Structure 1
Amino acid sequence: MVSVVIETRNDEEALARTLAGLVNGAVVGLVRDVIIVDHGSSDHTREIADAAGCVFLENGVFADALGQARGEWLLLLEPGSRLFEGWTEAVRDHVEVSPGPARFTRSRINRPPFLKRIFGGNDPLGDGLLISKRQAIALMKPGYGASDLARGLAMRQLKAEIVSSER
């Protein structure tokens, strides 16, 4: 149903935290596969991904992940992001009724202050991105990464929280 795609570069600890939160999705049959698009890690990122059963793409080309994804929907996350309990239901509800992209609700634990949200730089993947594989392929351009794909999209907000990475 959903393929998770995570871009990494020397993110072994952050990746482990994110992957741990996805276990429930795999158990209930929501997560079909996890694809790690690596951009030249020199730490143990590959070993973490292999131990978790992820597909590991060393070349750092995001478009290759779209071709290998088995799910009809993609869940794009940053390493270090953690999904709160109830995320599987929110994702399942969205993919069953809505054709458009969605993002998670930023948890109050690490929500930036009001003025920073208004005037600060926007992290397009800070709240994750749930998008159909078909739409992602249609929007894809040469050299695009996950953040580029998320930038400027009108998205619904899921009723599930995320703690974004501290990038």
Structure 2
Amino acid sequence: MLSVLIETLNDEEGLARTLASLIGGAVEGVVRDVVVCDTGSTDQTHRVADHAGCHYVAGGIAAGIRQAKGDWLLLLEPGARLSDGWIDEVVAHTARATMPARFSRARGSRAPFLARVFSGNRALAEGLVISKRQATALAKSARSAEVIARGLATKRLDAEIWVAPPK
């Protein structure tokens, strides 16, 4: 049903935190597969992916989208963690909608107002649930998951995400 794609570059610790938050979705049968789309890591990212049973592909997000088995994709930054309740929200959204969706930031994950104003906005910070068909079309002209997520009209899910710390 849902393939999770995580684009990495030397993100072994962040990847482990993100994968831990996906366990419930795998147990429930919602997460069909996890694809780690690596862009040239020199740390142990590949070992973390391998030990967790993920598909590991070099070549970035386009290669990962081709490998994904699900009709819907969940794109996450390494280090992001999904809060309880995300499974039901994603299942309900994918059953009734065709447009992409993002998670709501967890209250403790929200930056102060001035920090938000003066920091760069990461389009993938709140994750992205998108149909594989739409992601495939966008990936033809995009070189990263961040570019795919930028500028999309999305629905806001009632599930929360703990945003990955900035690099």
TM superposition score normalised by structure 1: 0.95
Q: Which residue of 2 aligns with 1:66?
A: 65
Percent identity over paired residues: 54
Q: Tell which deviates more after alignment, 33-42 or 68-77.
A: 33-42
- Residues 23-102 of structure 1 correspond to what in structure 2 (within 5 A)? 23-58=23-58, 60-102=59-101
Q: Which residue of 2 aligns with 1:11?
A: 11
Provide structure 2 residue ranges, at least 5 long, that are not aligned to the other structure. none
- Alignment RMSD (CA, Å): 1.2
Provide the secondary structure at the position in 2 that maps to 1:33. strand
How far the C-alpha of 1:118 sits from its partner, in A, is 4.3
Provide the secondary structure at the position in 1 that maps to 2:50. helix
Q: CA deviation digits over 1:39-70, x for unaligned, max 9?
A: 22121111110011100012x33211111100
Q: Which residue of 2 aligns with 1:132?
A: 131
CA contact (8 A) 2:61 2:139 kept: no
How far the C-alpha of 1:152 sits from its partner, in A, is 0.3
CA contact (8 A) 2:125 2:164 kept: yes
Q: Tell which deviates more after alignment, 136-145 or 16-25.
A: 136-145
Corresponding position: 1:150 with 2:154: no
Question: How far apart in 2 are the matches of 1:121 and 1:18?
Answer: 22
Aligned length: 166
How far the C-alpha of 1:143 sits from its partner, in A, is 4.8
Q: Which residue of 1 aligns with 2:161?
A: 162
